[in-house]
A and B are shown apart, each in its own frame.
Chain A
Amino acid sequence: DAKTTQPPSMDCAEGRAANLPCNHSTISGNEYVYWYRQIHSQGPQYIIHGLKNNETNEMASLIITEDRKSSTLILPHATLRDTAVYYCIVRAPLGNTPLVFGKGTRLSVIA
């Protein structure tokens, strides 16, 4: 799996958009970008994933650069409940292999 780099922490004002960056310059052609988050003392939760096109779901949007070397997770209207550690994971969709977690970004949403 390709290595990812994320800032260790970020703050965001409640109601504003939270933009979380991720660098994955060594990503391979068949590797997807996945985002998970972990709220304190809970198991990780899937957010979104993409290959090369931008993706949007009810939780977030994922913007992937054209060269696929970086991406941004966007929470359009952050709430206090979005305070969590966000993990960007790059991997090929291989069945039955574990997710490998980096250090992630600790997002603090501030009232």
Chain B
Amino acid sequence: GAVVSQHPSWVICKSGTSVKIECRSLDFQATTMFWYRQFPKQSLMLMATSNEGSKATYEQGVEKDKFLINHASLTLSTLTVTSAHPEDSSFYICSAPSGRGGLNSYGYTFGSGTRLTVV
């Protein structure tokens, strides 16, 4: 089945530094990648949508200059958290439509998530 490989699975960084999270579609082409953020005991919140070869669209309240998204190829999308601060500590998850398509498509494959801790 379709697999999205997300790395790293966890990262600890110092406040003020930047962290890059990668999501690769291993056996399908991901023209679109969705990025979510999840705080403890809360549900997934959509942050942004990236489309290959174009600028990402961000949800209201998400700073585009802080969360840089690059989707330069059909198999790789990256999220860079710039100048990270403790409040950016969260679980970040990517997702791509990956199914057979059509009315019966169930094809949303999720990465395994990245736990970011900013100290």
Contact = CB atoms under 8 A, between A and B. Distances in A.
Interface residues of B, number: 30
Interface stretch (A12-20, A67-75, A76-84, A97-105): A97-105
A43 B49 contact: no
Given A46-B108, A96-B31, A41 B46 contact: no
Q: Is the interface of A mostly helix, strand, loop or mixed?
A: loop
Contacts, number: 55
A87 B60 CA distance: 23
B104 A93 contact: yes
B103 A96 contact: no
B43 A98 contact: no
B43 A101 contact: yes
A100 to B, nearest CB: 7
Interface residues of A, number: 22
Nearest to A48: B106
Interface in A48-96: 48-49, 87, 93, 95-96
A102 B44 CA distance: 8
Interface of A: 34, 36, 38, 41-46, 48-49, 87, 93, 95-96, 98-104
Interface of B: 4, 6, 31-32, 34, 36, 43-46, 49, 51, 91, 93-95, 97, 101-106, 108-113, 115
